[in-house]
Chain A
């Protein structure tokens, strides 16, 4: 298994190179002089010359691309125009907020969607099944930002139960250690801060989760129905096993493979969705940073965030692939050959 992991990891090198070539190509296709784009509009002649040298803009294209890749590999994206700071340190500061929101949303979505999917499949054609189908298709069709705005309208505007923007109240005395508010509050042993952090997290996380729930529920349902038609299920029924034992011991474990695939695919949607949800709820993560960078045409910062998001996505896909090895003994056996 370590060998398989290494082979899989080596396989991403060409993908990473091709992906960075696409981003490099887009930067070069952009209208205007590349050097002018990479420095702020009020930069001096000297700064433009420095950028030219830094990114090798006087050299032929292949050499420029090489320099671009080397700079990416060193996580050196240059300086943001807007914040006058190193791009990667800006991203690193915002990353925990994004990861916290994404992790809570996917856990929330899976916790709700998996039981509903299994229940709908077990009672196929029943009232609950139909209800789940309707809610699922509506969840997929509603735009995330609209759901977010409606939730704000009801829970912050009308009921005044939950805050509508930010991660913590102004002047909060939470000391950042990991940058993950929930973990930091626990580390500090402050349950009041944990409660506050959860209150701020709830609306954005629910908005993001609602969007994913539909698909996860549908796939879980159809996966369980597919497995239920297998011979070993008939055998289990014939042996006189209890209903719960059949469901939890035979149906659910076998349905996990397609469900993992779809949860993995949904992580792409989760990344795109989180950019929008962060903007709606002024959540100070990478998504809002990207939004601000794009709106002031801060090219180094935009490039840096696009690269980081894409690499996170590629990495997640690899982890999902490796997860099959753990979940499905058949994959393990096939790979060992």
Chain B
């Protein structure tokens, strides 16, 4: 099997570009993302020294500096959502499958309930009712994302709990947490990583959609979705205000999807994961 294939290389390139921008972007642009300069509003992109390489928006803010801020927000939210939903989903699924019985029924009813909502709608409702904040965005995006992990972990736990080595561990006095930690969770790692990669892609897309609708992170912080929403009005006269932030989202999500595909091919070619 070829490890270094095109999906891996292009995926890493895309992600490297965005992570590099989030970490080192401020060295490339001397401008502050929130500094307004109405005299230089809607200036086109230029490669002049100290110019605005991605142009300026309708308030004269540097588009590149705002892109850097957007990259940080997207990656931060994506990482938080994946960690939160992944840990919760794997724990809930593994316990539900391992325990069985009434507790399993309760967890499965929860899964069924949250799965019954159309994807972005539940997040929209949560933010509309509970109000906008970074924490609420992360919560709203995690509320459905734990389910794929939960399903896989439960299925695995159901199979493994009847295996002799688990019975042997129990006979020797191992508690639930030991069995989960030593015997069930290690078997889930490769599948979980694949789910997490795709899930981060959809989380970043969803965050951008929410910000585009004005419901994501508070508007005082520059985000890709928010920039697109503001730039939309000027798109016919100043294409750069809407094209660059969209490109940022596209490159990030494309990178994650390609890496997810590569990981899936590498770990388990037959696995068909059902993801939103």
Contact = CB atoms under 8 A, between A and B. Distances in A.
Interface residues of A, number: 50
Contacts of A265: 274, 276
Interface stretch (B28-36, B52-60, B232-240): B232-240
B257 A140 contact: yes
B209 A149 contact: no
Interface string B239-276: 10011001001100110011001000000000010101
B120 interface: yes
B125 A29 contact: no
Interface in B216-233: 225, 228, 232
B126 to A, nearest CB: 6
B186 interface: no
Interface in B31-76: none
A158 B212 CA distance: 24
A320 interface: no
Contact of B213 (A14, A31, A279): A279
- The DSSP consensus for interface residues of chain B is helix
Given A22-B113, A29-B129, A146-B246, A276 B209 contact: yes
A119 to B, nearest CB: 20
B124 A290 contact: yes
Nearest to B245: A146
B246 A141 contact: no
Interface string B102-123: 0000000100111011111110
Contact of B254 (A141, A268, A297): A141
Nearest to A23: B125
A26 B131 CA distance: 11
Chain B interface bracket (under 10, 10 to 19, 20 to 34, 35 or more): 35 or more
B250 A146 contact: yes
Contacts of A138: 250, 254
A157 interface: yes
A327 B235 CA distance: 46
B147 interface: no
A294 B261 contact: no
Contacts, number: 136
A41 to B, nearest CB: 16
B113 A18 contact: yes
B128 interface: yes
A291 interface: yes
A40 to B, nearest CB: 16
A47 to B, nearest CB: 21
A290 B215 CA distance: 12
A212 B129 CA distance: 29
B214 interface: yes
A84 B117 CA distance: 28
A272 interface: yes
B18 interface: no
7 contacts: A29-B129, A29-B130, A137-B261, A141-B250, A149-B242, A294-B215, A306-B124
Interface of A: 14-15, 18-19, 21-23, 26-27, 29-31, 137-138, 140-146, 149-150, 152-153, 156-157, 222, 265, 268-269, 271-272, 275-276, 279-280, 290-291, 294-295, 297, 299, 302, 306, 309-310, 313-314, 317
Name the 10 nearest CB pairs between A and B, nearest first: A146-B246, A272-B120, A141-B254, A18-B113, A157-B236, A271-B118, A141-B253, A30-B129, A294-B128, A313-B118
